[in-house]
Chain A
Amino acid sequence: MSRYQAPFGPEGPAPIDPDIARKLLTVALEKGGDYADLFFEYSVSGSYSYDDGILKSVGRYVTMGLGVRVMKGDATGYAYVEDLDMGAMRHAARTAAQIAASGSHAPAQLVAAGVPSRYGIAQLSLEVPGETKRDILERADAAARRADSRIVRVTGSISEEVREILIATSTGRFVRDRQPLIRFGIRAIAEDGDKRQSGSSGGGGRMGMEYFDSHSPEEHAQEAVRQALQMLDAREAPAGEMEVVLAPGDSGILLHEAVGHGLEADFNRKKTSNYTDQVGEVVASELCTVVDDATLPFGRGTINVDDEGLEPESATLIENGVLRGYMQDRHSAEVMDTSPTGNGRRESFKSHPMPRMTNTLLLAGQDDPEEILKSVKKGVYARKFGGGQVDISNGDFVFSLTEGYLIEDGKITAPLKGVNLIGNGPDVMRKVVALGNDLEVSDGIWTCGKDGQSVPVGVGCPTIKISAVTVGGTQL
């Protein structure tokens, strides 16, 4: 039995059952709303910060509350409350109800539904003694310091979370989920004379301490050290358009920015995306098949159920270059007269759901990664990224390289200083000229922001060759 228990859970002090939920939904619809849902959340997270040779601080954070949403036509009324007594919850339902002005509508009978099981819940991190996590951070710290005398500072962290949610809808859904998440990270600073650089590594997913069974803290430490030392020799990057080869895994951030956001249905329903009204059209090189797969076992972006109570699937967004569909939430699907895809996600009970990505992958091609490299006369090999951003309206995107190399005559040569790549989504996707047979899913580190809401996501891709991207270095 966990010491942290959702008050609204079946064994909690104030359990919410379908009857109570239906009463609240009745209040939410009493002004004439078309649809209402309740989103209960109880999230407990922890943080362990290892800094300068000690476990410097430990934190634990509990957030709980209820978000009530009422829809009337295109309009949403939203209210939330942290106090889960009946009076406060009714008040929130009444506040959200105000979006509608006439009529009344009774919610359907609620039927409790089950969900699939895609998370690792064998060793929930919150229930494992803190000493175990301290040991892991100590091991990482020691490994990084031991690796090279030029390493002057090491910071490590473990973040853990268990998020319990309960969603009840006026269409009769009543579904619970318990979502674990863990993330480990290490950063090393190397100094050599007056040169200073940092390297980092991390990972995680929807699981507990079993993450460390397959990923040792020492491996991450060595990776961070390798990167920091490698970058000590980095030279100024070239500037201008050139061939770029992206390493498998983290480069999936390219997909996320270049096509992912533009395929979220809200932008397309509003016709503000550059992919608006293009289903059935060629939007990428025929080598490209892009899926959003919420079902990957233990993935950082994986969910059993979305935050609107719907079951997600693996959705094909682009098939052999042809646009097949968008990522839908309930409302966008209704407006666009199609089925929701289970991509309705929200940061917390304080926010309304939006169409969001889960794990976005570019599927493997046929090419040998070695041959792809050999085919480049002069270009850039992109290995690690700091993040990316896109302008949905026209598809212009950037992503920041934190570890990149010059390619000369088919060989990786000098490391390059941090540099930004910039392109236009549809344009770059048409310039994908080779795809490796080496699909990799990134280790679980990515968080996606949209409209101020953050959600954990996964990305993945094989080795990708793009015939021309602008590299933002200083050397003309």
Chain B
Amino acid sequence: MSMDETLQSLLEIGDEVVAAARAKGATVAEATIRQGSHLSTKIRLGAPELVEEAGSRALGMRVMVGRQVAVTYTSDLSARGRAQLVADAIELAQLSQEDEFAGPPDPSLLSRTEDHVDLDTYDPTMDAFGAEEALERAIAGEKAARDADARITNSEGATFTRASGGSALVTSGGFRGTSVGTYASLVVNPVADDEGGKKRSGYHWTARRHLAELEDAAAVGREAARRTLRKLGAAKIASEEMPVVFDPDAARSIVGLLAGCVNGGAIWRRSSYLLDRLGTAVASDLVTIVDDPLIPRAPGSRPYDGEGLLSRKNVVVEKGELRTYLMDSYAARKLSMESTASASRGASGGVGPSTTNFLLQPGELTPEQVRDVPRGLYVTEMMGFGFNAVTGDFSRGAAGFLIENGELTQPVAEVTISLDLDQMLKRIDAVGNDLDLRTSTASPTFRVSAMTVAGR
């Protein structure tokens, strides 16, 4: 079946269950249907370890009976499975309680198919990429890592994955839309022996919507080796307050914390430290953060949101000032604001605000200029869950390097860094120009002027 035919069949399933739910008394019925296929191959020490291949389909539904809401999901798409899904939804909606804010989006806001931009998120060559070729890429990546240096003594392997899928959204409010996407990635994970019987594991990866844009496998392997070897001899340092530079991987996870705190759901639940902070400074004026679903070929791009509203770029933080929260229509009603077209509909049918491509915008400086401080910590990895969104308190495990006169010197492990997120963002005093779109939440290198580093 071609992708167009597949999408057509998904729309038809949507039409059928939405009509069935309406006939059984649903005031509002919305169905999302997804179909995907993937291939995942993992090799280790040059030999195949796993070849996994499968296709899957699932159907998620949200219904409202008046202002009572239920969500149902099934991977059993047989006639019996679909009928049960609809019957469950109607029955469960009657169990939930009248929610005055519940409802579909304003019909005048719904987008039309002809307004949906092609974001080039689908690579039609993806599905033809076979297990043999995938294994070859993984083997080439791992081999380059192992050949790079004799100190690479072991490997956690290399994994090549490709996935493609289509989805349809049909709502009783009159929205019918489809979208498609592909994704491929290669990760290489070498292991080196360190002093005292410790091992150091490192990795590097490439991921793109289009196969042809993936980084060369051998280059990924060599970079993975470099990242592993540079950790050798990592040690704890003494506790000290100092500038902290986050490389793009670590920086992305800080930006991800902020994403949770500007989520309209966290705001109406009063569980974000950014409550009541619209229009105020929440970061240094070097910080501009956008949520942009319209970037061609980017991982988080989509033509319409989870409720059928036309995608739009939202400037969340502009030169340090908080401009908007990210809201679906429910959060918007709860907060007496307007939806930012940020609804995300999970595979299981539930709807809530979410980010698309959530990006801290690049600055002018090279990464070398960002880390040009007499003494500081350069963080490449963070561990753990030490963040409290309600207060902004942040304390996490970190590893990386000591910076001395702008150079990365002693590798550092087993320390923690802490400072509340509000202060951290306000103390950003340098932003790099090295933004990379491998992930939907991304950031260039940035520097925080001072944080507590706890070690010995």
Contact = CB atoms under 8 A, between A and B. Distances in A.
Interface of A: 3, 7, 13, 47, 51-52, 54-65, 73-83, 92, 95, 98-99, 130-131, 134, 152-153, 155, 187, 189, 191, 196-198, 237, 239-241, 270-274, 350, 352, 386-389, 391-402, 417-424, 470-476
A417 B391 contact: yes
Contacts of A63: 58, 73-75
A196 B386 CA distance: 17
Contacts of A397: 383, 397
Contact of B384 (A387, A424, A470): A387
Given A75-B51, A473-B395, 6 more contacts: A55-B96, A99-B51, A152-B270, A274-B197, A350-B54, A421-B416
A58 B384 contact: no
Majority-rule SS of A interface residues: strand
B51 A55 contact: no
B138 to A, nearest CB: 13
Contacts of B98: 54
10 contacts: A58-B71, A76-B49, A134-B95, A239-B416, A241-B455, A397-B397, A400-B385, A418-B395, A420-B418, A472-B415
Interface stretch (B84-92, B245-253, B301-309, B357-365): B84-92
Contacts of B198: 274, 393-395
Contacts of A7: 76
B131 to A, nearest CB: 7
A392 B383 CA distance: 12
A272 B156 contact: yes
A239 B239 contact: yes
Contacts of B52: 76-79, 352
Interface string B389-426: 01101011101000000000000011111110000000
B48 interface: yes
B312 interface: no
B433 interface: no
B73 A270 contact: no
Contacts of A240: 239, 454-456
Interface of B: 44, 47-58, 69-78, 80-81, 84-85, 88-89, 92-93, 95-99, 131, 154-156, 191, 194, 197-201, 236, 239-241, 268-271, 273, 275, 348-350, 383-388, 390-391, 393, 395-397, 399, 413-419, 452-456
Contacts of A56: 69, 96-97, 99
Contacts of A152: 270
A238 B98 CA distance: 47
B59 to A, nearest CB: 10
A54 B385 CA distance: 30
A472 B390 contact: no
Contacts of A80: 54, 56
Contacts of B416: 239, 398, 419-422, 470-472
Contacts, number: 273
Given A393-B199, A394-B200, A58 B92 contact: yes
A351 to B, nearest CB: 9
A57 B454 contact: no
Contacts of B455: 240-241, 470
A55 B102 CA distance: 12
Contacts of B393: 417-418
Contact of B452 (A64, A134, A239): A239
Nearest to B456: A241
Contacts of A77: 50-52
A51 B269 contact: yes
A153 B271 contact: yes
Q: Which 8 residue pairs of A and B lie closest in terms of their CB atoms, listed nearest first? A: A472-B416, A398-B397, A398-B384, A393-B201, A239-B454, A420-B386, A59-B71, A393-B199
B416 to A, nearest CB: 3
A85 to B, nearest CB: 9
Contacts of A392: 201
B199 A55 contact: no
A274 B193 CA distance: 10
A249 to B, nearest CB: 18
B385 A387 contact: yes
Contacts of B81: 62
Given A76-B51, A420-B416, A62 B75 contact: yes
B85 A62 contact: yes
A400 B74 CA distance: 35
Contacts of B69: 56-58
Given A241-B456, A472-B417, A476-B240, A422 B397 contact: yes
A239 B453 CA distance: 8
Contacts of A47: 71
Contacts of B415: 422, 470, 472
Contact of B397 (A75, A350, A420): A420
A391 B202 CA distance: 10
Contact of B201 (A74, A391, A472): A391
Contacts of B56: 65, 80, 82, 350
Given A54-B99, A470-B416, A398 B456 contact: no
A399 B50 CA distance: 32
B454 A473 contact: yes
A57 B199 CA distance: 47
Contacts of A3: 84
Contacts of A78: 50-54
Contacts of B74: 61-63
B53 A79 contact: yes
Contact of A196 (B51, B191, B270, B456): B270
A320 to B, nearest CB: 22
Contact of A57 (B51, B96, B452): B96
Contacts of B413: 394, 396
Contacts of A270: 44, 154, 156
A274 B399 CA distance: 18
A47 B349 CA distance: 12
Contacts of B384: 387-389, 398-400, 420, 422
Contacts of A59: 70-73, 92, 348-350
B388 A418 contact: yes
A398 B239 contact: no
B95 A130 contact: yes
Contacts of A75: 47-51
Given A134-B95, A422-B397, A396 B199 contact: no
B95 A419 contact: no
Contacts of A237: 395, 418
Contact of A60 (B92, B201, B414, B417): B92
Contacts of B99: 54, 56
Contacts of A472: 386, 395-397, 415-418, 452, 454
B92 A130 contact: yes
A239 to B, nearest CB: 4
B391 A99 contact: no
A254 to B, nearest CB: 12
Nearest to A80: B54
Contacts of A423: 414
Contacts of A57: 69-71, 96, 350
Interface centre among B49, B72, B93, B390 (most CB of A within 10 A): B390
Contacts of A65: 56, 75
B214 to A, nearest CB: 20
Contacts of A82: 56-58, 75-77
Given A57-B70, A131-B95, A419 B200 contact: no
A81 B384 CA distance: 35
Contact of A470 (B80, B385, B454): B454
A283 to B, nearest CB: 11
Contact of A402 (B85, B194, B388): B388
Given A55-B95, A472-B416, A61 B73 contact: yes
B97 to A, nearest CB: 4
B168 to A, nearest CB: 17
